[in-house]
Amino acid sequence: MFVSFAFRFRVEVEALNMVETVGNYARHRTVPVLIREDDGYRITAAPGVSGQSISYGYMAALVKLAAERKLPVCDECASYEKIGGFFKRADRADIGHDDRVKTCVVEDITGFMATKEAGGGEKGSAVKRTSAVMFSYMLPDTSSARGVITPQFHVRYNLQNPDAQRPFTIESGTAIYIQAVAIDVMKIGRLEDGDDVDDWLERAELAFDALKLLYSGMLFGAKKARYLPAFEPLGGVAAVADPHPFMVSPPRYGDYWALNKARVEKMKSLYDMLELSCFDREGITSCDSGLSTLEELIDWAKERVLEYFEE
């Protein structure tokens, strides 16, 4: 069982992913993107938000929801705010694959790697698991609007001591962003011998609910205290496939629903199950699913997964 999503977002004046500070100038992350022109394609730099940054917010959502649902989370992941990130017991190669899966849904769903160097006559060792949830970069859809980065000038004033005033500049980005997300459901709760943990279906449900919380709660990105962006999901498409993976096409400007629908029709014979749904708030596609929000689209995919395993 494999679920893929592709979303469109309208995001204005965001500083969600800064890469460095040079003096009093904070730079936004930029990525190379293609712009189609009459004589071919041109590569330009545009604002972007990394999949790693978004994954951090997703793991934070997993911790919050797992605590409410009494699902296991290791002490290190539960303390991510205090220690400054999700290190996932990276220095504990003595904790095996199955023990990690059983004791921490964050490590189970988003993967882990721990290594031990060779020394003292012993060989080195490693324990690892690839994430069941995959995030692309959030990239501008240059077919509909070019993403721009603009420096915004600020000053911290000190009326009693003018010499203490501090000017600083932060780059902000605005674009119609597209992003892909995939969930390999069969990897969740899976032990090394192929068996599943007892609560694997609850963990699968958690994976989808955390995705909703990630976007609805704006849990990803930085500088939100003063650069909370205008963030609006515009549309998206989702596919639920079994037994092989199926990745939906990006929702670029135009009838991306018709494109994905045509692909599904050509591929259905290879699958026991391949279903597609969508939402479109821009009116640029022939989407007729009846769904109108990102949350409804994620719920549709989750319900199809749960129904499939209850049958």
* Contact call for residues 107 and 101 (beta carbons, < 8 A): yes
The pLDDT of residue 124 is 72
- Which residues contact residue 174 at a Cβ distance below 8 angstroms, ignoring those fewer than 6 apart? 11, 12, 13, 14, 47, 147, 148, 150
pLDDT of residue 311: 66
Specify the 3-state DSSP secondary structure of 33: strand
Tokens of 263: 């692909």
pLDDT at residue 192 in the model:
94
DSSP run (H or E) holding 81:
helix 80-83
Tens of pLDDT along 247-256? 999 999 999 9
> Phi/psi at 103 (nearest 5 deg)?
-100, -5
The rounded distance, in Å, linking the Cα atoms of 18 and 14 is: 10
Residues of the chain whose pLDDT is less than 70? 118-121, 311
Report phi then psi at 38, rounded to 5.
Answer: -60, -35
User: Can you give the pLDDT at residue 277?
Assistant: 98
- Collapsing DSSP to helix, strand or coil, 38 comes out as coil
Burial class (CB in 10 A: 0-12, 13-18, 19+), 265: exposed
* Gyration radius of the chain's alpha carbons: 22
Q: What would the two tokens of residue 78 be?
A: 């539960």
What pLDDT, on a 0 to 100 scale, did the predictor assign at position 119? 67
- Rounded CA-CA distance 10/232 in Å is 5
Q: Which residues of 279-301 are buried (b: 16+ CB within 10 A; e: fewer)?
A: bbbeebbebebebeebbebbebb
Q: List all residues 6 or more positions away from 241 whose beta carbon is below 8 Å from its beta carbon.
A: 1, 2, 3, 4, 271, 273, 274, 275
Cis-peptide into 243, omega within 30 deg:
yes
For the stretch 12-24, pLDDT in tens is 999 999 999 999 9
Contact 153, 167 (CB under 8 A): yes
Whole-angstrom CA distances from 305 to 109, 207, 244 are: 16, 12, 14
pLDDT at 294: 98
> Quick check: pTM over 0.85?
yes
The bridge status of strand 166-184 relative to strand 25-28 is parallel
